[in-house]
Amino acid sequence: MKPHRKRLLALPEEWLAYAESDLKLAKLGEENEDILEEQICFHAQQAVEKGLKAVLLFCKMDFPLTHDIEELLDILSEAKILLPQDIIDAGILTPYAIETRYPGYWGEISEQDVDEAINLAEKVLRWTKEYIAKPKEIEEEFK
């Protein structure tokens, strides 16, 4: 049986719920020494990816089935959706989507890397929730 490849659309709020769950998993991992740093960073990346896709859905924009955060940021930027300066570098989390999921594909991840991944995820989700709640006011704020 072939895997189902069709993207099923959901509400932006549903994507945000998944994003928030990924962020919570990352934070729980940060507090538990038995959780691998790679998996913490993976969940931070997933939170950002799902948060950005929630905004794209909210704006009724199509997006590719990708883990590439820079690609998602580019789509938002091309659509004239103003992004806060502090989330523009979120693309640095993209490698955590694939390379950290399995052993043997990554160098050492430092505590600083983990902190940076979680901080970026928090900033992106804060912006996505605010944008979906009141997009016009947010855009004016960042002009």
Residues 6+ apart with CB under 8 A from 42: 96, 97, 100, 101
pTM: 0.86
Q: Residue 21 pLDDT more than 60?
A: yes
Closest CA to 57 of 16, 89, 97: 16
- Tokens 């690609």 locate to 71
What are the chain's domains? 12-141 (1.20.120.330)
pLDDT surpasses 60 at 58: yes
Determine the average pLDDT of the residues in 32-48.
Answer: 95
Is pLDDT above 80 for 28? yes
Q: What does pLDDT average to over the chain?
A: 88
Note the pLDDT of residue 42.
96
Taking the C-alpha atoms of residue 103 and residue 7, their distance in angstroms, rounded to an integer, is: 28
Query: Which of 75, 78, 91, 79 has its CA nearest to residue 124?
Result: 91
- Confidence category of residue 141, pLDDT binned at 50, 70, 90: low
